[in-house]
Chains A and B, each alone.
Chain A
Amino acid sequence: EPEVTQTPSHQVTQMGQEVILRCVPISNHLYFYWYRQILGQKVEFLVSFYNNEISEKSEIFDDQFSVERPDGSNFTLKIRSTKLEDSAMYFCASGGQTNQPQHFGDGTRLSIL
């Protein structure tokens, strides 16, 4: 069964540093998403991406965050200057159609020191 893959599985970074989280969505999917889950809390939407542009973003997704699809397969989330409160699991998801189930990668655990 095709799956969404994410790298790295764990990233430890000093506060103020830039991080890039990488995702390879399912190959025939057109809709891409990032979510995050702070330890012990619910999964929260960050951003959706379709047709090479952001279609929706949450309040969490401020100017420190950006997304990119640099080639036909990768989808990245960049945090420009990390803060302690950015520590969380970051999940990438993809979907074949809007309003349909989204399939999640196994996540990147981001730890900011």
Chain B
Amino acid sequence: RKEVEQDPGPFNVPEGATVAFNCTYSNSASQSFFWYRQDCRKEPKLLMSVYSSGNEDGRFTAQLNRASQYISLLIRDSKLSDSATYLCVVIGDNTDKLIFGTGTRLQVFP
């Protein structure tokens, strides 16, 4: 089983749509969880950290389910500028290296 698994997409959605991405991780002892965004041929940029209680940042909501080892990201009211690859990232136990999923590609069209 892959350490961090994501649906690669692409997800093609119209502007204004709500879209949800999911991610699963294999190490139940993982400590920290993040969503990063990566534009084509650019560096990963932190979108938000993910907490068990769930957290929201504007149009973005992230959720963590430790029992199911599952992380989600919800984007409401999609903008053209949201088009990017969304990377699910986990830090395991006894380490601080980031473990990346392969990413989910989102394309928002007018």
Contacts and interface: CB of A to CB of B under 8 A. Distances in A.
Interface SS of chain B: helix, strand, loop or mixed? strand
Interface stretch (A14-22, A66-74, A79-87, A95-103): A95-103
Interface residues of B, number: 22
B100 interface: yes
B97 A33 contact: yes
B65 interface: no
B31 interface: yes
A107 B46 CA distance: 15
A44 B41 contact: no
Given A91-B44, A104-B43, A107-B43, A43 B97 contact: no
B96 A35 contact: no
Nearest to A104: B43
Given A48-B96, A95-B96, A98-B96, A42 B44 contact: no
Contacts of B98: 33, 35, 43, 45, 93, 102
B58 to A, nearest CB: 17
Interface in B20-56: 31-32, 34, 38, 41-46, 49
B81 interface: no
